[in-house]
């Protein structure tokens, strides 16, 4: 098993308009407000992306802390608008930054794992339709080639981060950037994003067949509220929507459209030959799991007939995101992917918890997070012992960051960040990991 920690560019870099970077959809989303009579920011408290951890300036410090904790693998992402401000033309200063990050990782004996797209689409491309515009397939392929040709020392690449989340939240419900709502935008964006995984994989393999290329997927363990047929059917429908719809196309099973006529509308965006493009034999699959969701039958939903039972109505064991702490969920999700019989290496590329961490006498006693990691890692190891081809685990996240629409209140980090001074402090969970990884207390 390899052990690492993860971050993303948008959530940690700051430097929103430094080094030639162009605006992203999240830079714009942070400025927006919603509401008819009482306007309120779309990001809680009006928090701004640019006020995050400033990894752009502190990357050496952060990689040193990663090494001090004992991790030998570092997952981070590239900001598309930093490398290509308009989504099309290269900004050499942006590329130079990532070359420096990679070089410093290798100098410190840290293996870089790089994600090409972690949600920060160039705003210029969004104004042309973003993921809803089929042109994105060629644009994303070209961007990916620029990154791989420039960062030749990187051997492990991930194409997309959690397509189900950025597509559902950003193009269906409008609660994440770019804030679009409606099934047309959602289906178009989903099909193009899912196709891009195979297109980029094959293109990068033509450039260098020795690269290890995968993609990460969000999986949620789904259960029924009770054992009635209606509740069980609701859970199956939720699994179809939340998990299978964003994974099965790439393994050659196509979009799961059974029993849900609404989903069949995605066929309007599928062209001849697309299904062959969707299927791809990735070198590895990234599994990202945080919690369990429980569903019941809903008479009043004409399309889906399902209703989520909120975690706070059925559990007291919650994170700062109001997510239920349910360690077995990680085991079940790993075994679910193992059950497809793919033989593909699996990595937990994100797993962690946010809490209301408080600094006391220059320490953060995050006992709940330590317990979270202990129990979830145990469940991951259980899956491995039962036959899953699990090869590694990445904690989310290395440091506190911008948690999308939730802003800066939820803290996921092993390293506490004072967002005003940018001072870093190892939390107790970081010290626990150091001991767990064999580095002492």
Catalytic residues: 162, 350
Those residues whose C-beta lies under 8 Å from the C-beta of residue 299, and which sit 6 or more positions away, are 305
CA distance 439 to 427: 15
- Nearest-CA neighbor of 121 among 197, 28, 184, 212? 28
CA distance 31 to 41: 7
Q: Which helix (H) or strand (E) holds 327?
A: none
Handedness of CA 94, 350, 257, 306 (dihedral sign): negative
4-to-51, 75, 284, 366, 431 alpha-carbon distances in Å: 25, 7, 16, 19, 14
CA distance 337 to 285: 9
Q: Which helix (H) or strand (E) holds 164?
A: helix 163-171
CA distance 9 to 170: 18
- Nearest-CA neighbor of 286 among 393, 413, 168, 170? 393
Interhelix angle 136-150/183-207, rounded to 10 degrees, is 40
Neighbour-count burial of 176, counting CB atoms closer than 10 A to its CB (0-12 exposed, 13-18 middle, 19+ buried): buried
Residues 201 and 280 sit within 8 Å (Cβ to Cβ): yes
Interhelix angle 428-436/367-385, rounded to 10 degrees, is 30
């Amino acid at each position: 098993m390899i052990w690492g920690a993860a971050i993303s560019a948008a959530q940690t870099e700051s430097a929103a308009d430094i080094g030639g970077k162009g605006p992203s959809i999240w830079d714009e989303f942070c400025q927006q407000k919603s509401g008819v009579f009482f306007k309120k920011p779309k990001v809680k408290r009006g928090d701004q992306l640019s006020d995050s951890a400033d990894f752009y300036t502190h990357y050496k410090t952060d990689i040193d802390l990663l090494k001090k904790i004992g991790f030998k693998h570092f997952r981070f992402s590239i900001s598309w608008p930093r490398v290509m401000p308009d989504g099309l033309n290269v900004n050499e200063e942006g590329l130079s930054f990532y070359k420096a990050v990679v070089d410093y990782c290798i100098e410190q004996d840290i293996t870089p794992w790089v994600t090409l797209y972690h949600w920060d689409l160039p705003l210029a491309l969004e104004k042309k339709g973003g993921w809803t515009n089929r042109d994105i397939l060629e644009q994303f392929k070209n961007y990916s080639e620029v990154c791989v040709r420039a960062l030749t020392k990187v051997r492990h690449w991930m194409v997309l981060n959690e397509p189900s989340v950025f597509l559902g939240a950003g193009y269906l419900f409008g609660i994440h950037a770019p804030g679009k709502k409606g099934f047309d935008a959602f289906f178009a964006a989903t099909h193009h994003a899912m196709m891009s995984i195979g297109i980029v994989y094959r293109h990068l393999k033509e450039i260098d067949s020795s690269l290890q290329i995968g993609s990460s997927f969000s999986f949620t363990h789904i259960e029924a509220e009770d054992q009635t047929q209606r509740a069980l059917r609701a859970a199956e429908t939720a699994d179809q929507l939340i998990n299978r719809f964003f994974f099965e196309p790439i393994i050659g099973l196509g979009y799961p459209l059974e029993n849900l006529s609404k989903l069949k509308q995605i066929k309007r965006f599928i062209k001849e030959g697309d299904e062959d493009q969707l299927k791809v034999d990735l070198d590895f699959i990234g599994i990202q799991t945080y919690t369990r969701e429980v569903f019941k039958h809903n008479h009043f939903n004409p399309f889906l007939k399902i209703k989520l039972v909120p975690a706070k109505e059925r559990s007291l064991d919650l994170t700062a995101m109001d997510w239920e702490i349910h360690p077995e969920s990680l085991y079940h999700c790993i075994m679910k992917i193992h059950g497809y019989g793919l033989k593909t290496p699996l990595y937990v590329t994100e797993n962690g918890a946010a809490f209301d961490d408080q600094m006391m006498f220059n320490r953060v006693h995050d006992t709940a997070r330590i317990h979270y990691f202990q129990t979830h890692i145990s469940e991951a190891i259980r899956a491995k012992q039962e036959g899953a081809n699990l090869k590694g685990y990445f904690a989310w996240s290395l440091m506190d960051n911008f948690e999308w629409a939730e802003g800066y209140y939820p803290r996921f980090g092993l390293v506490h960040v004072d967002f005003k001074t940018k001072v870093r402090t190892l939390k107790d969970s970081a010290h626990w990991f150091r001991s767990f990884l064999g580095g002492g207390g």
